[in-house]
């Protein structure tokens, strides 16, 4: 069996060397393919990693590490390719120019993350970070073959990328990435808290090294993006609801930044392109991946700057009602009900009934949490007077308003007759819903009927004028 396995292995290696020889014939060192005295790893990646041709084609330079993962000198150096690109300050990325996106210490980052606001000089060296990997499943077998970092400077926005042309170069990549992280004040990612950073920490652990991210403040833009832009109206008209929208970076590029990529490499193709690059050394297939990663970093930086500028300028800077609602939610979450209500009121006059109703629902909840129950009741009434009370197919926030008004009128305004009208509209809305909700509404109506009967026995009900003021 060992003889058969050896013969099969030799056949596979011969075919692999033959295919690589035709592709890499013009690369320095290619003449040693299959030669026992040639390079130690006679595959495409090993040859390419020693090639100035590849560095020239991709516009990068080679950087080596003379230490292994335990800090001792290795038998042969590992190398990765470092590629720098700079976006001119006056260059546009969608509707914003690069020089408009530089983030200063006065930016109100505390609206989105109070921990970052507590970091001294948090804006002194923001490093935007994104990786491309051999897969999305995670674990020790997933390698980040491309790590991109970006930062603002006097020259504009600089993107520095570290590319592995073979597994042996990972030590060099980690060395160089550690230098960048050590100089950073805050790391900014998009979903990096659950993917990018844990993936890299796994690689540092694999090489028995402490990750430099342990004490590095981390600002993840994905939760912020979900609060600001994470919903869109699904339909217009009766029963329309506001539902979650895509918050992928590519979707936000188009909807928020109004930036559209041309000839971009789809994310699902990236691992296959990298493996093809390792087999063939073809710089053309990896160049598109590098450009994809650069655009991700620039979009992340511009999106972060845009979110902070909205927080600083306030509701008047918003261009659309859904952005007003998102900003109002952020203000409400941060304990600023005045600016939150300002945003919700502006959005409450939108032409789309789904957006209009959602804004009024958030406004009422903000007023209720602030202890202004009477104002919240007027807002709920405002919402239902928009034609919702006459419909059976109430939207979720309209059902919440009807229930809140029924509770308010019964217990605070002491008007069980008016409360019963809203309970009836709620009963029609939940007729096809869960049995528990139907029983709750039926129980409320029965209780209100008893109160109405007792009041009539005492000489009639006095109408509560509060909601008509």
pLDDT tens figures, 194-210: 999 999 999 999 999 99
At 71 the pLDDT is 42
Q: What percent of the chain lies above the pLDDT cut of 70?
A: 79
CB 466 within 8 A of CB 377: yes
pLDDT band at 182 (very low <50, low <70, confident <90, very high): very high
Burial 27-62 (b: 16+ CB within 10 A, else e): bebbeebeeeeebeebbbbbbbbbbeebbeebebeb
Please tell me the pTM assigned to this model. Answer: 0.80
pLDDT tens figures, 221-242: 999 999 999 876 543 333 344 4
Burial 399-423 (b: 16+ CB within 10 A, else e): bbbbbbbbebbbeebebbbbbbbbb
**CA pair distance 268, 136, nearest whole angstrom:** 9
Copy the structure tokens of residue 292: 């994809």
pLDDT band at 158 (very low <50, low <70, confident <90, very high): very high
User: Comparing C-alpha atoms, which of 290, 100, 115, 98 is closest to residue 187?
Assistant: 115
pLDDT tens figures, 366-407: 999 999 999 999 999 888 887 554 455 667 778 888 889 999
pLDDT band at 296 (very low <50, low <70, confident <90, very high): very high
């Amino acid at each position: 069996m060992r003889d058969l396995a050896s013969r099969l292995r030799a056949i596979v290696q011969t075919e692999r060397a033959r295919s690589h020889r035709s592709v890499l014939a013009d690369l320095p060192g290619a003449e040693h393919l299959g030669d026992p005295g040639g390079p130690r790893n006679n595959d495409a990646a090993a040859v390419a990693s020693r090639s100035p041709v590849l560095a020239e084609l991709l516009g990068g330079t080679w950087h080596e590490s003379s230490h292994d993962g335990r800090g001792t000198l290795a038998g042969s150096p590992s190398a990765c390719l470092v590629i720098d690109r700079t976006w001119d300050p006056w260059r546009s990325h969608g509707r914003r120019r690069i020089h408009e996106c530089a983030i200063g210490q006065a930016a109100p980052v505390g609206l989105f993350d109070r921990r970052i606001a507590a970091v001294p000089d948090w804006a002194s060296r923001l490093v935007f970070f994104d990786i491309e990997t051999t897969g999305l499943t995670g674990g020790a077998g997933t390698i980040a073959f491309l790590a991109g970092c970006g930062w603002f400077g006097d020259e504009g926005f600089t993107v520095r990328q570290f590319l592995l042309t073979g597994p042996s170069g990972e030590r060099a990549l980690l060395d160089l990435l550690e230098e960048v992280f050590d100089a950073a004040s805050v790391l900014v990612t998009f979903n990096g808290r659950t993917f990018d950073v844990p993936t890299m920490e796994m690689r540092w652990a694999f090489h028995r090294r402490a990750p430099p991210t342990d004490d590095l403040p981390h600002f993840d833009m994905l939760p912020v993006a979900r609060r600001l832009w994470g919903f869109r109206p699904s339909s217009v008209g009766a029963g329309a609801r506001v539902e979650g929208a895509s918050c992928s970076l590519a979707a936000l590029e188009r909807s928020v930044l109004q930036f559209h990529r041309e000839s971009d490499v789809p994310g699902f193709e990236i691992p296959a392109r990298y493996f093809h690059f390792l087999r063939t050394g073809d710089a053309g297939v990896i160049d598109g991946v590098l450009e994809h990663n650069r655009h991700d970093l620039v979009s992340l930086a511009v999106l972060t700057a845009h979110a902070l500028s909205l927080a600083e300028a306030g509701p008047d800077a918003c261009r659309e009602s859904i952005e007003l609602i998102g900003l109002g939610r952020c203000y409400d979450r941060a304990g600023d009900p005045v600016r939150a209500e300002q945003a919700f009121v502006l959005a409450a006059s939108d032409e789309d009934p789904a957006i209009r109703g959602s804004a009024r629902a958030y406004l009422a909840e903000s007023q209720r949490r602030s202890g202004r129950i009477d104002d919240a009741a007027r807002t709920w009434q405002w919402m239902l007077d928009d034609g919702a009370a006459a419909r059976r197919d109430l939207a979720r926030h309209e059902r919440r308003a009807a229930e809140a008004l029924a509770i308010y009128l019964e217990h605070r305004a002491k008007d069980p007759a008016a409360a019963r009208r809203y309970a009836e509209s709620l009963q029609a809305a939940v007729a096809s819903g869960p049995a528990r909700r139907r029983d709750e509404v039926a129980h409320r109506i029965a209780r209100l009927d008893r109160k109405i009967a007792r009041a009539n026995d005492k000489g009639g009900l006095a109408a509560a004028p509060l909601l008509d003021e």
